[in-house]
Structure 1
């Protein structure tokens, strides 16, 4: 009952008015009104007590101060424990990366797994924030209901107070006295059941609000844990990426001449179609003629329709065949979270990685069978030409802060946007045919899936 009283006062925030009502009802109880109606004045005072918080005595202040000190100490202890755990996890991650550095295939698989976990935590955090928003709206609505009920009850208590200022006579000397007593009895008989019903309704509303607050606290804790896990995975992913880059740098000398050729090629061709045509001429399919020990594509891309994860989580702004900025979109435009990780949707060999015309940072993945996956609009690229990618390996990351333009393909600049295409024999095909419906679902912006 005490918890309910405190909750009611917290919600309404009208302590002074409530205290006055409570004192008035105590006076009303003393005047003997309930005797005329055959009911106890204590019932009225108890009903009013539902809306009044007990005063905090001066002796409670030291206890409160001690409690705050204990809470601060608990927070400090928890922070030290988390720091120690973080240090231990970082050491474990470094040891793991050092062991993986001897096996590039295992390193690639570890990268893909870490990136997948990081993206799943991002999805979990987004869902958690949305859930918290809904709970906050429900709490606000419930508080409005409680405030409205408190105002209704205050009116009834005010009516009882008025009646208490001129109580009917206890001894019936005149007919008028008898009439006043009967009127008082009728009035009390009508008001007190209303008070009881309203008190029960308030109690139910308080219980509902308490459940919402418990749900919000649980959601906050779940969100905190998800963010902590995501931060851990970020650290692990950064170490793995650095090791991958180190391994790539060792091979870079062999690729320098080829990289110069790529840059000249990008300067020579005028559009993406020409670039893909030149790449097709200069490179063989990664699934055939591979050197011994080199990783190869294991599953033909043509058999993966409806099975692939999208390269990034987010909201689809435009789909294949839609008009965007006066141009016909040959792929999809996805609005992502800042700094979102872009993953390889399928196995393949990187045929181009770098800036290209108005596309910004561009990566072209040769998926075999003359299929190419094109990803554009990233802020950073984490791959190099001729690097073999496993499904789910990080390709790049999106902007942390937004830049001005992405070559006319962007619908708005409210968030980073990734442009992606799939081409077969140089011709664009609908990417939606390849995405799995049950994994990494996209939040739509009015377009069909």
Structure 2
């Protein structure tokens, strides 16, 4: 009902308000579609894939809703400031309209100087009236737009809250579906003792990544097809914006060979292509880490997750979920930081390694979506 109210509010709004709310309308429809996906995910043959699509749909819908809400907020603020600055002019306009209004008595236009002066006064009033009417119409349009925008913001905020509840339910269902999954192929079985020894004996990510390939045994099945021909066109593992490029120094003054992506709390992290999980768990000072091997001698390192899915040795399809970002869900509510990264409070570190050599991840991934 709230999404319907939002759409009806947009349809009835003045044209400028409708322009400011176009994204909100599209977002309301996207969130409605996401809720339908969530309702039907239990019946899907592949629940994990269906719920992954559902979470992504919610994330895209919520992003569009924030952008639409922010546009409406900015427009409403501009109009409110304009009207506030015109208070004196508005008062004079209202006084003039009352003086020549329909309810004014005929003697109002009678001039004490006689018929000639009365005629001149009438001509003057006739010349001024269209201008006064135009100002009144402009003022009325501004007031109607402010009213429509405020109603839009209220309905959009309600829809946004519903979407946040929906995406949280979808994430919970996805986590359970992954826990119940038993049909993933494996390329090798991890030796936890050797992995733990490698963790304790290495002090750098480079050293750990280099040692991973040497501690696996009994690899089965053909290797995954190479993805070199897709270099530069792979999707980022998470919805976000680049905060630091390869080699840039962070707030602590540390320069790393990977990139830092600013994401929203709870954002879904997926594998950019079919890949084998080489490692999933805590590592050094990187927090929870997933290391993917899409082809021989190529590794994608994803660090800073709050939750990781899967186990070392499992083979994942492209777009399969590998984890979730952390952070309080309430950070998702504010539209004011949209575009400035203010609500993207989590960071995912991505590193690409070919053999023992790090490579700029932006040579592999597209970053045209924020």
- Does 1:202 find its partner at 2:202? no
Shift of 1:217: 6.1
- Does 1:420 find its partner at 2:347? no
Number of residue pairs aligned between Structure 1 and Structure 2: 320
- Does 1:244 find its partner at 2:178? yes
Q: Report the secondary structure of 2:191's partner residue.
A: helix
Q: Report the secondary structure of 2:51's partner residue.
A: helix
Any conservation in 1 of the 2:38–2:54 contact (CA below 8 Å)?
A: no
Alignment of 1:36-435 (within 5 A): 93-96=41-44, 100=45, 107=46, 110-145=47-82, 148=86, 150-156=90-96, 179=113, 182-183=116-117, 185-207=119-141, 210=144, 235-236=169-170, 238-247=172-181, 258-283=191-216, 290-291=220-221, 297-298=224-225, 300-324=226-250, 325-401=252-328, 415-435=345-365
Q: Whole-Å Cα distance in 2 between the matches of residues 232 and 134 of structure 1?
A: 23
Any conservation in 2 of the 1:333–1:419 contact (CA below 8 Å)?
A: yes
Superposed CA RMSD in Å reads 4.3
Mark the CA change 1:198 to 1:205 in structure 2 (over 3 Å): closer, same or farther: same
**Structure 2 unpaired stretches of 5+:** 1-12, 14-31, 330-340
Partner deviation per Cα, 1:181-206 (whole Å, 9 max, x = no partner): 64454344324532332223332453
Any conservation in 2 of the 1:348–1:389 contact (CA below 8 Å)?
A: yes
Mark the CA change 1:260 to 1:137 in structure 2 (over 3 Å): closer, same or farther: same
Any conservation in 2 of the 1:248–1:384 contact (CA below 8 Å)?
A: no
Q: Report the secondary structure of 1:330's partner residue.
A: coil
Mark the CA change 1:372 to 1:223 in structure 2 (over 3 Å): closer, same or farther: farther
Q: Whole-Å Cα distance in 2 between the matches of residues 223 and 368 of structure 1?
A: 45
Q: Whole-Å Cα distance in 2 between the matches of residues 261 and 320 of structure 1?
A: 31
**TM-score w.r.t. length of structure 1:** 0.59
Q: Whole-Å Cα distance in 2 between the matches of residues 260 and 239 of structure 1?
A: 32
Any conservation in 2 of the 1:121–1:226 contact (CA below 8 Å)?
A: no
Shift of 1:415: 0.8
Q: Report the secondary structure of 1:313's partner residue.
A: coil
**Structure 1 unpaired stretches of 5+:** 1-6, 8-81, 101-106, 171-176, 403-410, 443-449
Shift of 1:332: 0.9
Q: Report the secondary structure of 1:346's partner residue.
A: coil
Q: Whole-Å Cα distance in 1 between the matches of residues 318 and 148 of structure 2?
A: 40
Shift of 1:419: 0.6
Any conservation in 2 of the 1:314–1:337 contact (CA below 8 Å)?
A: yes
Shift of 1:343: 1.1
Mark the CA change 1:290 to 1:211 in structure 2 (over 3 Å): closer, same or farther: farther
Q: Report the secondary structure of 1:357's partner residue.
A: coil
Q: Report the secondary structure of 1:134's partner residue.
A: helix
Q: Whole-Å Cα distance in 1 between the matches of residues 358 and 145 of structure 2?
A: 52
Any conservation in 2 of the 1:359–1:376 contact (CA below 8 Å)?
A: yes
Q: Whole-Å Cα distance in 2 between the matches of residues 215 and 169 of structure 1?
A: 44
Q: Report the secondary structure of 1:281's partner residue.
A: coil
**TM-score w.r.t. length of structure 2:** 0.70
Shift of 1:93: 3.7
Any conservation in 2 of the 1:114–1:233 contact (CA below 8 Å)?
A: no
Shift of 1:159: 7.0
Q: Whole-Å Cα distance in 1 between the matches of residues 57 and 183 of structure 2?
A: 30
Mark the CA change 1:283 to 1:302 in structure 2 (over 3 Å): closer, same or farther: farther
Q: Whole-Å Cα distance in 2 between the matches of residues 196 and 433 of structure 1?
A: 62
Mark the CA change 1:196 to 1:118 in structure 2 (over 3 Å): closer, same or farther: same
Q: Report the secondary structure of 1:311's partner residue.
A: coil
Any conservation in 1 of the 2:224–2:275 contact (CA below 8 Å)?
A: yes
Shift of 1:226: 7.7
Shift of 1:358: 0.8
Partner deviation per Cα, 1:358-380 (whole Å, 9 max, x = no partner): 10111111111310000111111
Mark the CA change 1:277 to 1:146 in structure 2 (over 3 Å): closer, same or farther: closer
Any conservation in 1 of the 2:308–2:323 contact (CA below 8 Å)?
A: yes
More helix by share: 1
Deviates most, 198-207 or 389-398? 198-207
Larger radius of gyration: 1
